[in-house]
Structure 1
Amino acid sequence: MEEISLTPEEVAARLKIAKNTVYELIKRGELPAYRVGRKIRLDLKDVENYKRQGKKLDFHEEEKIAGLTRLVQSIKPSLGPRGIVICGQDVLLDILTRHLERHANGIQVLRHNVGSFPGLLALYQEKADLAAIHLWDGDTNVYNIPYVRHMLPGIQSIIIHLACRMQGFYVAKGNPKNILAWQDLTRPDITFINREKGSGTRVLLDEKLRLLDIARHSIRGYEMEELSHLAIASTVARGEADVGMGNEKVSMQVREVSFVPLQKERYELVIKKEDLYKPYIQATMEILQSEEFKKELHGLGDYDVSETGKVVAEV
């Protein structure tokens, strides 16, 4: 009988899981796979065997927010009334956490590294107290405000500016393939590595593709995902992809990677207006507006701190 081969997308549809989960199962050796050129293929019989074995799948993408909920539910009660949860991925949040825990109105902080969409959802579901986001709206050329308005319906919110960062392409050192513009991602000699759905970087990419009328699936590797700027840069440095996206600061930390700047983005903190006068929020604003905090950020590079601590919008 002729063997039937499937793409990762087809396997994901059969197993009712995300494509990213299929790739994770392949990486862990739980699903046999092979390459035909640059494409990954799986045999139908191996997929059916996997289903019959009744293995427990790691629903990586679909369970991400559910996992955050379980984590916060288990940890936040132990934090008590003087504990908060901050969602976001940038190292500046680690610095903010350290300052908060040392402040006169100090408070214990749980940092949860999730993208912008999961962070806003956690704030909406009262599973987090602050969420850091960088979500660009291509129709208005405005960061964050349109998304907060629609993802926190009926909740008056305040957006506090953290910093501006440069977003761009990670490419091999010296940029040997001369990747300079969004349109270059569709070239047949280019392999891309993407960020996960819900991250601010993924939103920027998808909005740019929409405005430029570029078909997402014309980009080789669009479906391949990693969960952080560092993981993207590392993939490019290893030669497993020609280009990925992230902020400039991370490119400074990874050898064999060069950076192609594309767009300055606004990284901002969202709180509920009803929490504005709580001591930990007042402490947060005091820290963000302090010269000590701004100098520390400036010293790390790739941060424009000229508006740090400014309330940019009430939504």
Structure 2
Amino acid sequence: MKRIRITPAWYFSDEAGNQLDPQVFVLLEGVHRHGKLTEAARMAGVSYRHAWNLLGKWQEFFGISLVELQRGKGAHLSPLGEKLLWAEQRVIARLGPQLESLGSELNLAIQQTLEGVKPVLRLYASHGYAVELLPEYLDELRLDLQYCSPREALVALNRGACDLAGFHLPQGAVGTRLARGYRHLLKPRSHRVLRFITRRQGLMLRPGNPCGVQGLEALVEGQARFINRQPDSGTRALLDGLLRDAGLSFRHIRGYELEEYTHSAVAAYIAAGMADVGFGVEAAARRFGLDFVPLASEDYLLVCHHRSLSEPRLESFREVLASDAFQQAVSALPGYSLNRCGEVEGVEALMAG
């Protein structure tokens, strides 16, 4: 199936019109991961000689090296190489979900023009790594995937703008309190819950945890620089709930007012050395080579109308959730586990307490 994939791109240029080749970023990531230019060249799909020449060209462009090679010690990024790599990763992490949503809209419109109008499953959901996997496994089902806040997803379901709304609730007292805020959006007679996954959230820390942060208390007692999520995100609500239960004030957290819009963006911000600690899912921390201190588990759930469960598109969707291929992909995500994936239950349990 032909698909549009939208990816962010940016470049350096000089007065002569020379531009930084995007392939440089692949080489920089390879050196960062493997510490060898040979492995970096393999990742980029180029010869060692070409990789060497490319780095040499851009060393001349900047007037400073991007990669430092030492005989017998492999390769490592120079300070400028690190800044360039983390800038690239921050751009991708921050803009990725919005571009995925736009790509979903464009793909749907093009597919309907080429193939005629076919059933479409409209999913509005809080962004997450497991949700991000879905388009890869819904081969025959047309998916319109739009990322938004949990509340926006449930509002869209109630006004008929989507077929499924994805949101997450922490386990325990914080989740019980947050569920009360969704009560007016959840309708026991008409709504049903599709179980999905459970994931771990906690503190994402610079490698080696140089500030010695072991829990939330360290955020208000020390000088660790914090990077937060935006106010309407479920992750921000979880953090605020945990602070409240611990009797801690956000006013004493250095950087609480600074915000990023995805788990990956928070992790990339820390990996770039711009903060010491953030709050998010374990999978993001591991993807960016960060340390992680787990603080909470939460259930990611999908809500639909009861009448739509018998429709072929929902039946096909549930078959994908139950498939070995999809479940193995979810299980491979750090901090993620399956939680009766695809099973249906009422919303009453979410509203208890």
With the shorter chain as reference, the TM-score category is 0.5 to 0.7
In 2, Cα distance between the equivalents of 1:214 and 1:150? 29
Output the CA distance in 2 between the equivalents of 1:237 and 1:173.
8
Cα offset for 1:120? 1.8
1:298–1:154 distance in 2 versus 1, CA, 3 Å: closer
Is 1:183 paired with 2:211?
A: no
> Partner of 1:225 in structure 2?
259
The yes-or-no answer on 1:169 pairing with 2:206 is: no
- d(CA) in 2 for partners of 1:312 and 1:191? 42
Alignment of 1:1-315 (within 5 A): 82-88=119-125, 89-100=127-138, 102=139, 106-136=140-170, 139=173, 141-142=175-176, 146-152=180-186, 156-255=190-289, 257-315=290-348
Q: For the Cα contact (< 8 Å) 2:195–2:339, is it kept in 1?
A: no
Q: Which amino acid aligns with 2:249?
A: A
How far apart are the structure 2 equivalents of 1:273 and 1:305? 23
Between 1:258-267 and 1:302-311, the stretch displaced more is 302-311
- The offset of 1:155, in angstroms, is 6.5
**Greater radius of gyration (CA):** 2
What is the total number of aligned residue pairs between the two structures? 243
2:310 is paired with a residue whose SS is coil
Counterpart Cα distance in 2 of 1:137 and 1:305? 15
Distance 1:220 1:206 in 2: 15
Q: For residue 277 of structure 2, what is the amino acid of its counterpart?
A: V
Output the amino acid matched with 1:218. H
Cα distance, 1:158 vs. partner?
1.4
Is the Cα contact below 8 Å between 2:321 and 2:327 reproduced in 1? Answer: yes
Q: Bigger CA drift: 132-141 or 291-300?
A: 132-141
CA positional deviation for 1:298: 1.4
**What is the CA RMSD across the aligned residues, in angstroms?**
3.1
1:83 Cα shift? 1.6
Q: Is the 8 A contact 1:135 1:147 kept in 2?
A: no
Residues 120, 219 of structure 1: CA spacing in aligned structure 2 closer, same or farther, 3 A cutoff? Answer: same
One-letter amino acid of the counterpart of residue 334, structure 2: G
Query: How much has 1:239 moved relative to structure 2?
Result: 1.8
Q: Is the 8 A contact 2:187 2:347 kept in 1?
A: no
- Judge conservation of contact 1:229–1:247 (CA < 8 Å) in 2: yes
TM-superposition CA deviations, 1:230-263 (whole Å, max 9, x none): 10001111121111111111112113x2111111
The 1:184/1:142 distance shift into structure 2, 3 A limit, reads: same
**TM-score where L is the length of structure 2:** 0.61
- Counterparts in 2 of 1:130 and 1:157: CA distance versus 1, 3 Å: same
Structure 1 residue 119: Cα displacement:
1.8
Q: Please state whether the residue corresponding to 2:336 is helix, strand or coil.
A: coil
Q: Following the alignment from structure 2 to structure 1, what is the Cα–Cα distance between the partners of residues 203 and 325? A: 31
Equivalent residues of 1:236, 1:242 under 8 A apart: yes
| Alpha carbons 1:133, 1:144 under 8 Å: kept | no
d(CA) in 2 for partners of 1:141, 1:131: 17
Structure (1/2) with the larger helix percentage: 2
In 2, are the aligned partners of 1:134 and 1:144 still within 8 Å (CA)? no
The answer to whether the Cα contact below 8 Å between 1:138 and 1:211 also exists between their aligned partners in 2 is: no
Per the TM alignment, residue 296 of structure 1 is displaced from its structure 2 partner at its CA by 2.1
Q: Structure 2: which 5+ residue stretches go unaligned?
A: 1-100, 349-353
How many Å separate the matches in 2 of 1:155 and 1:114?
A: 25
Query: Deviation of residue 165 (structure 1)?
Result: 1.0
Q: Distance in 2 between matches of 1:162 and 1:125?
A: 23
Q: Given the superposition, is the C-alpha separation of residues 176 and 301 from structure 1 closer, same or farther in structure 2, using an over 3 Å criterion?
A: same
Shift of 1:226: 0.4
Q: Write the deviation string for residues 245-304 of structure 1: whole angstroms up to 9, x where unpaired.
A: 11111112113x211111121111111222111111111222212223212221333221
CA distance in 2, matches of 1:193, 1:140: 21
Amino acid in structure 2 at the alignment position of 1:119: A
* SS, match of residue 176 in structure 1: coil
